[in-house]
Amino acid sequence: MADYAALKQAVISGKAAQVKELTQKALDEGRNPQEVLDQGLIPAMDIVGEKFSCHEFYIPEMLIAARAMQAGIGLLKPLLAAAGGKPRGKVVIGTVKGDLHDIGKNLVGLMLQGSGFEVVDLGADVKPERFVEAVKTSQPHFVMMSALLTTTMLGMKDTVEALKAANLRTAVKVAVGGAPVTQRFCDEIGADFYAADATGAVTKAKALLPA
C-alpha cells in the first residue's frame, strides 16, 4: 500500500533518498504515476510553501525539500511523459541580463516543478532576445523574470518591450520578482504580475492558468 503520508513527510524533511525509495515503492505497487505526483509530491510541496509563508521554513529548508521532491519527480517524469500526461503549465524563467543572482529564480523553478509545471530555465544573465526565442520555441504560459539589483531590473522592461516587438506579448503572461522589484514597477513596465516570493509566484501562476 503506497504510503503517501510518509512520502509527504520525507519531502518536507528534505530526505531525498527516502523520497526516491517511497516513490519507487509506490510505482512498484502499480500506482499510477500521476496519482503519486498528485497525492504524494505536490501536496508535500504545498505544505512546504505554507511553512515558508508562515516563516516556519526559510530558503534552506525550501531548497532541501525541493531537491528531495526532485528525487521523486525524476522517477515519475519519464512515466508521465510516456503515458501522455501533460504538465499543469509551462514556464520560461531566467534572471535578467547583467544579473548573476539565481537563488530566487532557482527556487521559483523548483517550486513550480513541485506544483506540476514544466520549467524551461534559461539561467542567469539572460538577454531579452533569449527570452523571446524561448517563448517562440517553448510556447510557455508564463515568462518569469528575476533581478536582484536596481541596475539590472530594467532588463525586465527591455524584455517586455522585446516580446511586444516580436508580437508575442499577448501569447504569455509575464511575471517579475526579486528584491528591488515591486508591484508598482511591475505595473510600470507592463508585466502581468509580481510575486514577492516563490510560493507567491506559484500561487499566482496557478490562478492565472487558462481553465
Partner 1 sequence: MPMTNRERILAVLDKRSPDRIPWIARLDLWYHARVAEGNLPARFRGMTLVEVGRALRTGNPARDGKVFKVCYEGMEVRNERAPGVARQRFVTPYGEVTFGRILSDKVSGTTDQGLPLEHPIHSVDDYNVLEYIAEHTYYEPCYDEYLAYETAVGGEGYPMVSCGDVPFHYFLLHLSGYNQAYFEMVDHAEEFEHLITVMEQVDRERLWPVVAESPARLILHGVHFDSQMTPPHMFRKYMTPYYKDFSALLHARGKSLVWHADDDSKDILAEVKDAGFDMSECFCTAPMVEVTLEEARAAWKGDVAIFGGVPSIILEPTFPEAEFEEYMRGVFRTIAPGDAFILGVADNVMPTSLIERVERVSDLVEQHGAYPVQPY
* Interface residues toward partner 1, by CB under 8 A: 14, 55, 58-60, 63-64, 67, 100-103, 106, 149-151, 154, 179-180, 182, 185, 188
Nearer to partner 1, 29 or 188 (CB): 188
Minimum CB separation of residue 136 from partner 1 in Å reads: 28
Length of the chain: 211
Nearer to partner 1, 37 or 126 (CB): 126
Query: What are the residues facing 121 on neighbouring strands?
Result: 93
Nearer to partner 1, 8 or 101 (CB): 101
Minimum CB separation of residue 186 from partner 1 in Å reads: 12
Nearer to partner 1, 148 or 205 (CB): 148
Nearer to partner 1, 125 or 192 (CB): 125
Minimum CB separation of residue 33 from partner 1 in Å reads: 26
Minimum CB separation of residue 204 from partner 1 in Å reads: 18
CA 49 vs CA 45, 56, 111, 129, 187: distances in Å: 6, 10, 8, 32, 26
Minimum CB separation of residue 173 from partner 1 in Å reads: 22
Among residues 64, 78, 63, 61, the alpha carbon closest in space to that of 23 is found at: 78
